[in-house]
Each structure stands twice: as structure tokens, then as C-alpha cells.
Amino acid sequence: MSAQGETPVSRRLSKIKHIVIICSGKGGVGKSSVSVQVALSLYASSPNARVGILDVDLTGPSIPRMLGLDGHPVHQSTDGWVPVYADGGEARLACMSVAFLLKRKDDSVIWRGPKKNAMIRQFLSDVRWGELDYLIIDTPPGTSDEHISLIEHLSPVHSRLSGIVVTTPQAVALLDAMKCVSFTRTVSLPLLGVIENMSGYACPCCGEISNVFSTGGGESMAKRGSIPFLGTLPIDTELVTLLDAAAETEQEDDKPIEDVEHEGFRLLRRYKATSSAKLFGPIVENILSRLSGFTAQ
């Protein structure tokens, strides 16, 4: 750290207004899908919004696949790694993930803590994020090496840091979500709130929400823990179709992947008009209003 308290991370992230860490107690509750929806909704919230999404789920990176960016190379510039832009030349939605660094998309990452820590430091200090309104960070489930590294490296920019906990309504997920909340308290990470995912089922024909399993558990957990509740998301088949369509982008044999109009562009164009975006609307409103409160603090 320099005399002024600056670090390579704080210098690199100096033009980012809000950094939001998305976590979950349990795996498979939809944390990465929610991270993508937060990024897409913030991107769509204003024609000038600049958003970054950093995937630190190092052993199970799924953000590039969900954004239709699988297979895109990351370029090195004299000023560090250039992120992959989901919106091409507009450069308002930047993405970085270990998946971009793997030779093959089914290669596995088997790293111990120190190597993960070094990778996360590099993502924060060596990626040319530039000016962003929001940097969304998708993390692995639970509270692991990745979370501890993130919190440590981000400590110089703590005043711009906040978190969101994603859970499903089932008791076992809620118990793990509460452990995650307890971790955020231990490391003094202020929470924007809790999102309850897969809460009921949205009928693809009429949009009616049916409560096939339990619902409301996330909200009552938030109440009990005195944490803001950001909203519920139903099991949403349109979202799955949308993200799966993006994931299925195949590179045409005769074109370099940078020249292919990848599914990411189409996803961005389509997302705003989907019922998934409408379902996410109240949540992104709550996030924006909580973030404006953070700035005022």
C-alpha cells in the first residue's frame, strides 16, 4: 500500500461507483442467474449506465455462458486485460471470468487457496474496467477462499462495497443463507438485501404465479435478521430459455469469434421486452434505491 493508502486494486477500481457482491449460502439457488439479471437490468435502467460483471466462481464459472460470451478471448493491452464486452463497440457491459482464460470450455480449474487468491487479485487490479456505475461480482456458493480474498482486496474501497444474498424459500437453503448473512456481518459487508429466487412458478401462458413449493421464507428470514428484502422471483421458464439460447451460441467455422454477432448482443436487445425483465423490475428498483441511500451515507 502506498503512503496515501492506495493499492493497485483501489487505483484500478477508482472510477467504479458501486461494487455489489452477490452470494448465496447454498449452491444451485440461482445466484449466477440473479447476478446476470442484476447486470442486465442495471444496463437497461439507463441508456448511459455502464456495468461490469466479474465471475469469481473460479471452479464453476457460468457467467460467460449465460451471457452468450463463451469462447471469447481476453486480450492483453499495455494497460492490462481488456474485458469482453457483451454489447460490442458500445462497451457498456463488460465481463471477466476465468472461463475466458481456459483453453477449452470443459477444462476444470482445480486450484488451492493461494492460487485462487492471486487470480482474484489480478481480476481486481489488472482488468481495464474503466469507468463503471456498477461492478457486479458473482461468487461461489457458501463462504470460501474466494469470499475472503475478495473482502481483503476490496478493503481499500469498502465505502463503495455492498452485498446481496440469494436464497430459495426452502428451509435448508434459508439456514445456509443465514450463515452467509452472518459472514457478511463478520466482515462488515453492508447488505443491500435478500432476494428469494424460485419462489412459486410463473405460468408461461398467463404469467399467473402458483406456489408449488413453500414461498415467503426469504422474506421472513430477512425480517428476522433485520435485513432489507429486495423481492421474489418465480421459477421462470422464459429466463431459462433466454439464458440457454445465449449459451448455445456456436462459432461459425470460417469467422473469428470476435466477428460473429454473438448471442450476447441478441440477449441484450431482447431482455428488456421479456417477462423475466418485468418480474425483475421491482427488484432492480429496490437495488437502485438502496444504492442511492448508500451514496448518501
Ligand X SMILES: Nc1ncnc2c1ncn2[C@@H]1O[C@H](COP(=O)(O)OP(=O)(O)OP(=O)(O)O)[C@@H](O)[C@H]1O
**Least distance to ligand SF4 from the beta carbon of 234, Å?**
12
Query: Among ligand SF4, ligand X, none, what does residue 249 contact (CB within 5–8 Å per kind)?
Result: none
**Least distance to ligand SF4 from the beta carbon of 212, Å?**
11
Q: Among 180, 222, 243, 268, which residue sits at the site for ligand X (rule: CB under 6 A)?
A: 243
Residue type, 239: L
How far is it, in rounded angstroms, from Cα 79 to Cα 127? 8
Query: Among ligand SF4, ligand X, none, what does residue 33 contact (CB within 5–8 Å per kind)?
Result: ligand X
| Residue 249, CA distances (Å) to 68, 70, 88, 116 in order | 6, 8, 16, 29
Those residues whose C-beta lies under 8 Å from the C-beta of residue 278, and which sit 6 or more positions away, are none
Q: Among 240, 259, 272, 282, which residue sits at the site for ligand X (rule: CB under 6 A)?
A: 240
How far is it, in rounded angstroms, from Cα 228 to Cα 193? 5
Comparing CB distances to ligand SF4, the nearer of 1 and 203 is 203
Best CA proximity match to 72, nearest among 255, 233, 218, 206:
255
**Least distance to ligand X from the beta carbon of 235, Å?**
4
How far is it, in rounded angstroms, from Cα 46 to Cα 43? 7
Grid cell listed for 99: 472461463
User: Which residues in the 206-245 window bind ligand SF4 by CB under 6 A?
Assistant: 206, 208
Contact between 250 and ligand SF4 per CB under 6 A: no
Query: Among ligand SF4, ligand X, none, what does residue 208 contact (CB within 5–8 Å per kind)?
Result: ligand SF4
Those residues whose C-beta lies under 8 Å from the C-beta of residue 40, and which sit 6 or more positions away, are 93, 267, 268, 271, 277
Comparing CB distances to ligand SF4, the nearer of 133 and 236 is 236
Contact between 207 and ligand X per CB under 6 A: no
Query: Among ligand X, ligand SF4, none, what does residue 45 contact (CB within 5–8 Å per kind)?
Result: none
How far is it, in rounded angstroms, from Cα 114 to Cα 146? 10
Comparing CB distances to ligand X, the nearer of 144 and 162 is 144
Cell 433485520 belongs to: 226
How far is it, in rounded angstroms, from Cα 57 to Cα 85? 19
Contact between 33 and ligand X per CB under 6 A: yes
Cell 485462487 belongs to: 116
Contact between 282 and ligand X per CB under 6 A: no
List of residues contacting ligand X (CB under 6 A): 24, 27-33, 57, 60, 62, 141, 197-198, 233, 235-236, 239-240, 243
